[in-house]
Chain A
Amino acid sequence: MSYRLENTQQGEKYTTIFSRITPAQRRHRSARSRWRANCLLGVYLILMILPIYWLINMSLQTNSEILGSMTLWPQNLTFDNYIRIFTNSSWYMGYVNSMLYVAMNMLITICVALPAAYAFSRFTFIGDKHLFFWLLTNLMAPPAVFLLPYFQLYYSVGLFDTHIAVALAHCLFNIPLAIWILEGFMSSVPREIDETAYIDGYSFPRFFVKIFIPMIRSGIGVTLFFLFMFSWVELLLARTLTATNAQPIGMIMTRTSTASGIDWGTLAAAGVLTIIPGILVVYFVRNHIAKGFALGRT
């Protein structure tokens, strides 16, 4: 770039006051840089998809084909691995169990987190800052720390190997997370709305359900997405608190390694099936997810 001030007598050369690049060149350049950005993004996406593609590829092959030769795509396509999972109740019950405790956790968490987040976003009360900080420390607690105490606690109250045990255990990190996200969304709703509603004669519960919750529904959607995400992917606690009746799919997958070797095809198919719920959930919140990732604070 150059900032010389000659050539100003002709309007035509106006752009050269500031830079030697003509508008046409500039457009050309920005098109080229856009193209380069798209290429880089494409390379990243391909590298990212590659391990997942490989899993899908393997899930559509027979074990003999997987072990026999290196094939970049299935030579003789087979759905046997998927059929095996869908026809065996000990397999598909793993998915049902996982879904059940995730759904329970989402329900419990959102029910208690909504009023709590409202309290944090609207009121000051004794110990509010300390309480909020304490909540966030629970996000930082390594699940490994709570492994043994959880086992003993849920065993002693008779909840061991039930879905509700896992759902409650996941509340440890999901409730603080939900409050954190919801508080951000709620704080962006002006207080005047609350006051107007009270003047109009709304009681608090009616206002909360009829007016406030619809106003932050995208925030609730995003929160549910995060709750799903962290409950779905967690295995350490879910595995520890269950034995047979509520075993998550992640644990059942380990059954594929037997004395006669690992059943790679079924393992891959089971893995692919664990990815699908995530895709569905992210599809529903795709328009709000960008704001949600900043925890409602942008």
Chain B
Amino acid sequence: MNNKVSNNRAWLLVLPMLVLVAFSAIIPLMTVVNYSVQDVLGPNASFFTGTEWFKSMLNDSALQAAFVRQIAFSLVILAIQIPLGIGIALIMPKRGWQASAVLILITLPLLIPWNVVGSIWQIFTRGDIGLMGWGLRELGIDYNITRHSGDAWVTIVLMDVWHWTPLVAMLCYSGLRSIPEAYYQAARIDRASKWAVFRYIQLPKLTNVLVIAVLLRFMHSFMIYAEPFVLTGGGPGSSTTFLSQALTTMAVGQQDLGPSAAFSLIYFLVILLVSWVFYTTIMHMQKDKPPQGGA
């Protein structure tokens, strides 16, 4: 919409929202900033430390390992979920009761509380009572997520794919539905192959929703906490301890206010930075191309 009216009284409409979000975002964030530059010894005993906590956090080898793990995890799940989601969206029925039924079924994992997702997979993969764990054991595979870090990783990736691929699929599905039938008719007249239809009609039209999908998936996977916490508890060892869990252990478990606050800020800034870089790059790429028509 380019025909917006300039009107500063619009601030009045935004104000109630601003007060609420400020209460739940700015005050806590300021508390974090406050802690990150101080060493808190007691209620009234704290002194200014400057950037000391930030330096020690950036050099902490355990956190660096968690960070690398986190990035690896996010990349792996993006590499699996985005193509899989597109594929599912392409084969979903477009109309009739089947469409509604498939829609409801596919959305199901998104509406399960995250810790219950963890519980479901914990039960499902247990060797004694879980279908998957028991089945693999019967097949002669030595599968144990509490002992082998490889198994734990595969299971967490599988769980996340199970949990979040529906989001990508739903986004792509809604993108596909917005393509006018005339495009497909034109393609049929041209005798375009299925691949050509996908490559030159569907994929360009999906760009917008795919940007949203990648952003949302990156953000959420980077904050993942409850599912691996319930499923593996970060183990075996610390092989599946991701950033959120490392942070909560430090902040709540050990009560290290200063370091954990510094860590929080670095963590937040990394997510912001990556999202911003991704978003601006994509938008620049789109600007360079000739316009694809309204999307």
Residues of A within 8 A of B (CB): 1, 18-19, 33, 37-38, 40-41, 44-45, 47-52, 54-55, 58, 66-67, 70, 72, 108, 111-113, 115-116, 118-126, 128, 131, 135, 137-150, 152-153, 168-169, 171-172, 175-176, 179, 187, 191, 229, 232-236, 240, 249-250, 253, 264, 267-268, 271, 274-275, 277-279, 281-283, 286-287, 289-295, 297-298
Interface contact A131-B14, CB-CB below 8 Å: yes
Which B residues touch A292, using CB under 8 A?
174
**Contact mask for chain B residues 247-280; partner A; CB cutoff 8 A; 1 contact, 0 none:** 1100110000100110011011001100100000
Besides A55-B124, A278-B110, 13 more A-B contacts (Cβ < 8 Å) are A40-B91, A41-B102, A45-B102, A48-B106, A51-B124, A51-B132, A124-B6, A144-B247, A145-B268, A149-B29, A187-B1, A232-B111, A264-B123
Our pick among A111, A233, A295 for the contact of B112 (Cβ within 8 Å) is A233
The answer, yes or no, to whether B8 is at the interface (CB within 8 Å) is yes
Contacts of B222 in A (CB 8 A): 142
Q: Are B32 and A294 in contact (CB under 8 A)?
A: no
Q: For the complex, give the distance between the alpha carbons of A293 and B194 in Å.
A: 25
0 or 1 for each of B213-247: is its CB under 8 Å from A? (1 = yes): 00000010011011000000000000000011101
A173–chain B nearest beta-carbon distance, Å: 9
Query: 26 A-B Cβ contacts within 8 A?
Result: A1-B193, A48-B108, A52-B108, A54-B120, A54-B123, A108-B20, A115-B13, A116-B17, A125-B8, A141-B29, A143-B225, A144-B223, A144-B248, A144-B264, A145-B32, A145-B247, A147-B251, A150-B28, A235-B114, A235-B115, A240-B252, A268-B123, A271-B120, A286-B100, A290-B173, A293-B174
- Whether B31 and A149, one on each chain, are in contact in the complex, defined by CB atoms closer than 8 angstroms, is yes
> CB-defined interface of B15-36 with A at 8 Å, one 1/0 digit per residue?
0111011011101110110000
Give the residue of A131, A144, A153, A253 whose beta carbon is less than 8 angstroms from that of B115: A253
Is there contact, CB below 8 Å, between B116 and A274? yes
Interchain CB contact under 8 A, A294 and B212: yes
Compute how far the CA of A295 lies from the CA of B209 in the bound complex, rounded to whole angstroms.
9
Main secondary structure of the interface of B (DSSP, over half): helix
Residues of A within 8 A of B115 (CB): 235, 250, 253
Q: Which 7 A-B pairs have the closest CB atoms?
A: A278-B111, A149-B28, A298-B178, A123-B10, A119-B13, A149-B31, A37-B91
The answer, yes or no, to whether B142 is at the interface (CB within 8 Å) is no
| Chain A residues within an 8 Å CB radius of B244 | 142-144, 236
CA distance A253 to B116 in the complex (A): 9
Q: Which residue of A lies closest to B104 (CB)?
A: A282
For residues 85 through 134 of chain B, which have their beta carbon under 8 Å from a beta carbon of chain A?
87-88, 90-93, 100, 102-116, 119-121, 123-124, 128-132, 134
Instruction: Knowing A45-B105, A145-B267, A275-B116, say if A298 contacts B17 (CB, 8 Å).
Output: no
B47, CB-defined interface residue at 8 Å: no
- A120–B115 alpha-carbon span in the complex (Å): 35
Q: Is the interface of A mostly helix, strand, loop or mixed?
A: helix
With contacts A121-B1, A122-B10, A293-B173 taken as known, whether A115 is within 8 angstroms of B16 at the C-beta atoms is yes
Total CB contacts across the A-B interface at under 8 A: 283
Please determine whether B191 and A119 come into contact, CB atoms closer than 8 angstroms.
no
> Does A55 contact B28, Cβ atoms closer than 8 Å?
no
- Is the pair B111, A123 in contact by a Cβ cutoff of 8 Å? no
Query: Roughly how many angstroms separate A277 CA and B111 CA in the complex, as a whole number?
Result: 8
Chain B residues within an 8 Å CB radius of A40: 87, 91
Contact at B171–A119, with CB atoms within 8 Å?
Answer: no
Does A142 lie within 8 Å of B223, measured CB to CB?
yes
Asked whether A48 lies within 8 Å of B105 as measured between CB atoms, the reply is yes
B177 touches A (CB below 8 Å): yes
In the complex, chain A residues whose CB is within 8 Å of the CB of B194: 33
State in angstroms the CA–CA spacing of A143 and B243 once bound together.
12
Give the nearest-CB partner of A254 in chain B: B115
Q: CA–CA, A281 to B128, complex, Å?
A: 35
Cβ of B109 and Cβ of A48 under 8 Å apart? yes
Q: Are B268 and A142 in contact (CB under 8 A)?
A: yes
Report the minimal beta-carbon distance from A180 to chain B, rounded to whole angstroms: 10
Chain B residues near A152 (CB-CB < 8 A): 31
